[in-house]
């Protein structure tokens, strides 16, 4: 959907963004039924393709965790205990949160899993609404980010050590100059 001064102009269902482009785009995730904002791109931490879910570390207060816990008996959710996530406005199920899982799914315990089929994404840069199922939410491996940050820290440390040595040299020079000045005054 495209908006022009608050008026819906056009819905775009076949839009896809490259993975690199997606990470630059800020977006909000909406309930497909009532368009209530459920999360934003800052809270997205990846996706699980086999489950068709977007992984979020945070959601808005309009996402309600059901008090009913269900025991998974099919496919990926075998031996899991989870609760449904519901939109607070229209009460449609928009995802799930896993409370207990075998070790193979330990990394997604307590992560909000939003069903891509039930989510639309409003991309802020282009003012367009697209189906979440047309996008990928894969994130770069963490090791790349850590390596890049380490190089930045090393460069910063080198710069600070250089400044420290310059200050030490200036301190010695000024101490020597002050000593020479004092000796000349008292001689």
Q: Where are the domains of the chain?
A: 2-139, 140-187
Residue 31, pLDDT > 60, answer: yes
Fold of the 2-139 domain: 2.170.150
**Of the candidates 29, 78, 19, which has an alpha carbon nearest to the alpha carbon of residue 51?**
78
Most confident of 4-13, 16-25, 82-91, 175-184: 82-91
- The answer to whether residues 82 and 99 touch, using CB atoms and an 8 Å cutoff, is yes
Query: Which one is predicted more confidently, 46 or 93?
Result: 93
Contact 135, 121 (CB under 8 A): yes
Check residue 41 and give left, alpha or beta (phi > 0: left; psi -120 to 50: alpha).
alpha
Rg (Cα) of the chain, in Å, rounded?
27
Q: Contact at 8 Å (CB) between 10 and 2?
A: yes
pLDDT in tens, 77-116: 888 899 999 999 999 999 999 999 888 888 888 899 999 9
User: What whole-number distance in Å separates Cα of residue 127 and Cα of residue 30?
Assistant: 14
Q: Of the ranges 84-93, 136-145, 175-184, which one carries the lowest mean pLDDT score?
A: 175-184
For 142-155, write each residue's pLDDT tens digit.
666 677 778 888 89
User: Average pLDDT of the chain?
Assistant: 80
Cβ-count burial of 60 within 10 angstroms (0-12 exposed, 13-18 middle, 19+ buried)? Answer: middle
């Amino acid at each position: 959907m495209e908006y022009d001064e608050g008026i819906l102009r056009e819905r775009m269902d076949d839009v896809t963004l490259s993975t690199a482009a997606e990470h630059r785009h800020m977006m909000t995730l909406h309930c497909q039924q009532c368009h209530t904002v459920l999360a934003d791109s800052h809270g997205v931490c990846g996706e699980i393709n086999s489950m068709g879910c977007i992984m979020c570390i945070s959601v808005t207060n309009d996402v309600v965790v059901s008090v009913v816990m269900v025991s998974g008996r099919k496919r990926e959710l075998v031996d899991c205990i989870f609760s449904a996530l519901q939109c607070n406005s229209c009460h449609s199920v928009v995802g799930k949160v896993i409370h207990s899982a075998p070790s193979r799914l330990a990394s997604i315990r307590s992560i909000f899993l939003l069903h891509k089929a039930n989510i639309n994404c409003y991309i802020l840069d282009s003012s367009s609404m697209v189906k979440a199922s047309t996008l990928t939410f894969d994130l770069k491996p963490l090791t790349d980010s850590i390596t890049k940050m380490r190089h930045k820290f090393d460069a910063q440390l080198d710069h600070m050590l250089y400044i420290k040595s310059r200050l030490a040299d200036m301190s010695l020079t000024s101490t020597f100059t002050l000593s020479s000045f004092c000796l000349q005054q008292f001689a």
